[in-house]
């Protein structure tokens, strides 16, 4: 089997018209010839990602999803700007080539970037990689190291000082995700009232050293070198990136981190190989991050619970589009059950918390 991440047939209703895209791309990226072949990457549940293949060159196109979108979400120009400004300070960003604001071409803005060809780990680690538990532990630590490296980037020096407002970040995230969740509520979804109240009551002060916050840092958003899968060569999906509390970013990543000892219903939600032998537990993850970053973490429960609530907000926004027939993607039919499970996970953390 091919270990590098592969595109597949485009999902129904998400097709692109190559005859409209081709002239634009050739006008902005020199040296292209022939007609493009377009396919779609199957991963991801937010922005849509396509492979544009020309003879001798592969490109990636990103566009927003179809249907209702949260206000200020899926800003293609903002994501394009982040990639261009951050590339020198954090070389794992793909190079962005062109941002199209003409919505008549495909019905939305989009941007085109280089394809970083490599291995993306999704639910399981392929047997062909033959990674030992020690290899996996090393890779896990390198995954955390990249997050620490991002959080240490001088965002003013790379021209991203206007990306967000670090002051009041924690408060805005709690109130903002509460508002977004409530707007995406469907009759069959949990209300999360107890968790929202607990988060409001236990908010820490803003971190004294704000950072670039990726907001979606997971194993399936990093690319491994096909020649040496122990090395990370790319980080993807910068659409949610802003400036804020690095520990809130850590909480976002922990929300996806399902470990081997989690209950069976939680295991069904797993989308990355965080449960395999060698991977750090959530507690070990936090301790290693603290060691590498030099940040003391006393209220881990808050950041983890926030991450679970925010993930539920994302899940519910996607489910809202499915519930109202704005997308036909059958993957989203069970998202309301995932939402309910995330609420139970949050309540379990709160019951055990010393906060």
CATH classification of the domain holding 108? 3.30.200.20
Residues 6+ away with beta carbon under 8 Å from 313: 177, 180, 181, 184
Domain that holds residue 106: 18-114
Q: Is residue 263 part of a domain?
A: yes
With a cut of 70, say whether residue 67 has pLDDT above it: no
Strands, DSSP E only, in the chain?
Answer: 37-40, 48-54, 57-63, 96-100, 110-114, 211-213, 222-225, 228-235, 242-244
Which residue, 100, 107, 99, 97, is CA-closest to 69? 107
DSSP 8: B
The gap from C-alpha 236 to its chain's centroid, in whole angstroms, comes to 8
Q: How far is CA 18 from CA 40, 51, 234, in A?
A: 13, 12, 27
Can you name the residues that pair with 49 across neighbouring β-strands?
62
pLDDT digits (tens, 9 = 90+) for 224-249: 999 999 999 999 999 999 999 999 99
Asked if 39 and 22 touch (Cβ cutoff 8 Å), the reply is: no
Confidence class for position 1, pLDDT limits 50, 70, 90: very low
For residue 138, how many C-alpha atoms fall within 13 Å in the half-sphere facing its CB?
Answer: 10
**What's the pLDDT at 34?**
96
Q: Which residue has the tokens 């002060």?
A: 205
Residue 188 lies in a domain: yes
Residue 173 lies in a domain: yes
* Residue 85 confidence (pLDDT) above 60: yes
Q: Are residues 138 and 276 in the same domain?
A: yes
199, 74: one domain: no
Distance CA 24, CA 213 (A): 32
pLDDT at 65: 87
Residue 209 lies in a domain: yes
Is 195 part of any domain?
yes
- Residue 13 in any domain: the answer is no
> Looking at residue 254, what is its pLDDT?
98
Last residue of a domain, one of 84, 114, 144: 114
What single string gives the DSSP state of each residue in 97-123? EEEE--TTTTSS-EEEEE----B---S
Same domain, 95 and 166: no
- Residue 197 above 80 pLDDT? yes
**Residue of 291, 285, 195, 280 whose CA lies nearest to 249:** 285
Query: Of the candidates 59, 85, 114, which is a domain's last residue?
Result: 114
How large is the average pLDDT for residues 204-223?
A: 96
72: pLDDT confidence band, cut at 50, 70 and 90? Answer: low
On whether both 201 and 268 belong to a single domain, the answer is yes
H/E segment holding residue 147? helix 133-151
Claim to verify: residue 139 and residue 110 sit in the same structural domain: no
In a domain, 297, yes or no: yes
Cβ–Cβ contacts within 10 Å for residue 194, how many?
A: 12
Phi, psi of 223 (to 5 degrees): -115, 130
CB 74 within 8 A of CB 65: yes
Percent of the chain scored above 90 by pLDDT? 90
- What number is the average pLDDT over the span 15-22? 95
Report yes or no on 74 lying in a domain: yes
Please indicate, yes or no, whether residues 77 and 163 belong to a single structural domain of this protein.
no
Residues 196 and 277 in one domain: yes
45 shares a domain with 102: yes
Q: Are residues 93 and 135 in the same domain?
A: no
CATH of the domain at 292: 3.90.1200.10
Phi, psi of 317 (to 5 degrees): -60, -40
Interval 310-336: pLDDT, tens: 999 999 999 999 999 998 889 999 999
Is the pLDDT confidence value at 267 over 80? yes
Q: Are residues 160 and 205 in the same domain?
A: yes
Residue 148's contacts (CB-CB under 8 Å, 6 or more residues apart) are: 289, 292, 293
Same-domain status, 106 and 246: no
The C-alpha atoms of residue 297 and residue 317 are separated, in whole angstroms, by: 30
Structure-model confidence comparison of residues 65 and 3, the more confident one: 65
Q: Which one of 53, 88, 114 terminates a domain?
A: 114
State mean pLDDT over 181-206. 98
Same domain, 110 and 135: no
Return d(Cα 131, Cα 312) in angstroms, integer. 32
Residues 6+ apart with CB under 8 A from 259: 274, 275, 279, 281, 282
**Count of domains observed in the chain:** 2
Task: Give the contacts of 174 (CB within 8 A, at least 6 positions apart).
Answer: 196, 199, 200, 203, 306
């Amino acid at each position: 089997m091919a270990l590098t991440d592969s595109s597949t047939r485009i999902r129904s209703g998400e097709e692109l018209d190559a005859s409209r895209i081709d002239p634009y791309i050739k006008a902005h990226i020199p040296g292209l010839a022939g007609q493009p072949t377009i396919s779609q990457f199957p991963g991801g549940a937010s922005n849509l990602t396509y492979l544009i293949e020309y003879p001798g060159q592969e490109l990636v196109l990103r566009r927003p999803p179809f249907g209702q979108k949260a206000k200020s979400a899926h800003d293609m120009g903002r994501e394009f700007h982040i990639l261009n400004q951050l590339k020198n300070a954090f070389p794992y960003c793909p190079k962005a080539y062109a941002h199209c604001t003409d919505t008549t071409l495909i019905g939305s803005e989009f941007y085109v970037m280089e394809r970083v060809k490599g291995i993306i780990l999704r639910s399981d680690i392929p047997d062909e990689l033959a990674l030992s538990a020690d290899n996996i532990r090393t890779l896990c630590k390198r995954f955390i190291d990249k997050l620490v490296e991002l959080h240490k980037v001088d965002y003013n020096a790379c021209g991203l000082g206007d990306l967000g407002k670090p002051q009041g970040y924690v408060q805005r995230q709690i109130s903002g995700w509460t508002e977004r969740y409530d707007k995406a509520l469907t009759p069959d979804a949990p209300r999360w009232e107890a968790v929202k109240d607990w988060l409001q009551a236990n908010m820490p002060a803003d971190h004294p050293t704000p950072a670039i916050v990726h907001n979606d840092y997971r194993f399936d958003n990093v690319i491994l070198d096909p020649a040496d899968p122990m090395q990370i060569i790319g980080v993807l999906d910068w659409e949610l990136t802003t400036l804020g509390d690095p520990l809130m970013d850590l909480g976002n990543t922990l929300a996806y981190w399902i470990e081997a000892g989690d209950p069976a219903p939680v295991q069904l939600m797993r989308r990355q190989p965080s449960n395999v032998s060698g991977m750090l537990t959530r507690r070990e993850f936090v301790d290693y991050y603290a060691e590498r970053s030099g940040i003391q973490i006393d209220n881990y429960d808050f950041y983890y619970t926030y991450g679970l609530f925010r993930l539920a907000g994302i899940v519910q926004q996607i489910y809202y589009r499915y519930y109202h027939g704005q997308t036909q993607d059958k993957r989203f039919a069970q998202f309301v059950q995932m939402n309910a499970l995330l609420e139970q996970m949050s309540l379990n953390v709160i019951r055990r918390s010393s906060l």
